[in-house]
A and B are shown apart, each in its own frame.
Chain A
């Protein structure tokens, strides 16, 4: 596992924080890309002093698929299925962010029912993303299998809903410019209601399983602290930013879609450590359930697709647009420049997990190698989105 790191000329040694008394040489270790806890093909070059991390350099690009260049060479509609493959846990929110930016670019109206369906699907996505994140985070901490299995059991129910609506469990490709592809029948809404109503029971159980667990508390509290200043300066968004106590949620700030109609609170953390980031997800899920129940009550009948939008040969006017939504991982944005042809002139993704990953070194310095895995798990990355 030991390799040399190219850019380790001058390593400054910050004061030892974890009480290590050994003054030894630094060992350079390459963790990943085939490490089981790196959530895909992610590599970290770490310089260790004993077990303490003294320097950490993330190396990514192993899953690079030329996403943005492909987006510039395919039609606007053709990019929609590719957005599923960005963050393959949350294809619905990816679809929404992309559809939102194209709708901004071309000035397309979205019917009421489609807006409600989008909110329902985005919040269901948030539920399933956060549950699986909790499972994986505990898995990284050494709680092998059990929490992850319970989390996946619940996630499966939501994926079944996605499958019966869009035809695919993960690669949904459901939203279109100006609405959604197919309408959800009344039986689908009923099923979704049932799943959402049963969800708090699972959350209670899950919280009982882990939240007061002494091992979990010892492993997460005061580990990987992130200050609000650094988070804001580094452009961190999503639950990670709110765990530091910064009240910034695009659903409130931008009020995109029909979010201003719903009553929900934005949970905020206090310490910005891994435990806060973990609890942030649990609290957000509870708020999402509230939004979903309101949406199920209010959803009107009607068309789900704007009939004026052309499917074939879609050409938006010349211009540029940036559409962003509050994805489960943070601010997900798509920036498009149109030159009036069928393909975008420039297509840029602002991936939340990539930008949240940039401060990994600041979080990990002074902690042990085992903590690095926990911190990485709490950042909530999906390599499909980081590498694009």
Chain B
């Protein structure tokens, strides 16, 4: 019978319409500003810089090696290396970024800066409500806007952050052991005692 196909289709529409009142599967819309879907653990948006402890300047992990600036495909990172050095979390004097800007209007959230960073200093943020009144300066994130604490990182990516902390603690332990071994070898030849290295486990303030 001509028209039966159309009627069959109408029946499907009717089932979906009625079903949307009873089945969660058929009505998946979320009324966004009031209701929100939880973001998955791996969600990524724009990069931020991690610091340890409470002081954003002193605890900054970034040593301004500029690898991320070089590898960034859309070239949205701009770094100026500092003139002087400051001690990092292991007590070793390191350079730090005097300027660290990310133009998030250019950034394409590809996570390559995170992957190439040898110091676990740059990670992906989950903040996505970033609309601004201006296009240029407002979307250029300066260093003070980019730095966020390690505990914040633990909050947004709990599993990944725990992994990173374990890795860093291992590296710090290995470095401390090496130093101790070197110190033990050189104590026979009147070397100064090694400075106490702060242990990596106390550094990571897990939330």
Q: Which residues of A contact B (CB under 8 A)?
A: 74-75, 77-82, 146, 150, 153, 156-157, 160, 163-168, 171, 173, 181-182, 198, 205, 208-217, 311-312
Contacts and interface: CB of A to CB of B under 8 A. Distances in A.
Given A79-B73, A214-B2, A146 B13 contact: yes
A81 B43 CA distance: 16
B57 interface: no
Main secondary structure of the interface of A (DSSP, over half): helix
Nearest to B73: A78
B176 interface: no
Contact of B112 (A81, A182, A198, A212): A81
B195 interface: no
Interface string B6-26: 101101110110000000011
Interface of B: 2-6, 8-9, 11-13, 15-16, 25-26, 28, 40-44, 67, 71-73, 108-112, 115-116, 118, 124
Contact of A153 (B28, B41, B108): B28
B5 A312 contact: no
Nearest to A176: B115
B47 to A, nearest CB: 12
B109 A171 contact: yes
A79 B9 CA distance: 45
- Please name the 6 residue pairs, one residue from A and one from B, whose CB atoms are nearest each other, closest first: A81-B110, A164-B40, A212-B5, A167-B44, A78-B73, A213-B5
A311 B5 CA distance: 56
Contacts of B110: 80-81, 171, 173
Contacts of B28: 153, 156-157
A82 B40 contact: no
A168 B71 contact: no
A136 B205 CA distance: 50
29 contacts: A77-B71, A77-B112, A78-B73, A78-B112, A79-B73, A81-B73, A81-B108, A81-B112, A146-B13, A156-B28, A157-B28, A160-B40, A164-B40, A164-B41, A164-B43, A165-B42, A166-B42, A168-B43, A168-B109, A181-B115, A198-B25, A208-B9, A208-B11, A209-B9, A212-B5, A215-B6, A216-B5, A311-B115, A312-B118
A208 B44 contact: no
B157 to A, nearest CB: 10
A77 B67 CA distance: 13
Contacts of A77: 71, 112
A81 B11 CA distance: 43
Nearest to A213: B5
Contacts of B12: 205, 208-209
Contacts of B116: 311-312
B121 to A, nearest CB: 14
Contacts of A213: 5-6, 8-9
Contacts of A74: 73
Given A163-B40, A312-B67, A212 B4 contact: yes
Nearest to B8: A208
Contacts of B124: 167
A167 B42 contact: yes
A78 B71 contact: yes
A168 B40 CA distance: 10
Contacts of B8: 208-209, 212-213
A167 B125 CA distance: 11
Best-buried of A164, A205, A209 by chain B (most CB within 10 Å): A209
B105 to A, nearest CB: 16
Contact of B111 (A165, A167, A214): A167
A200 to B, nearest CB: 14
Contacts of A205: 12, 15-16
Nearest to B160: A182
Nearest to A70: B73
Nearest to B124: A167
Contacts of B5: 211-214, 216-217
A167 B9 contact: no
Contacts of A311: 115-116
Given A167-B43, A209-B13, A213-B6, 5 more contacts: A77-B112, A79-B73, A81-B110, A168-B44, A208-B11
Nearest to A77: B112
A75 B68 CA distance: 12
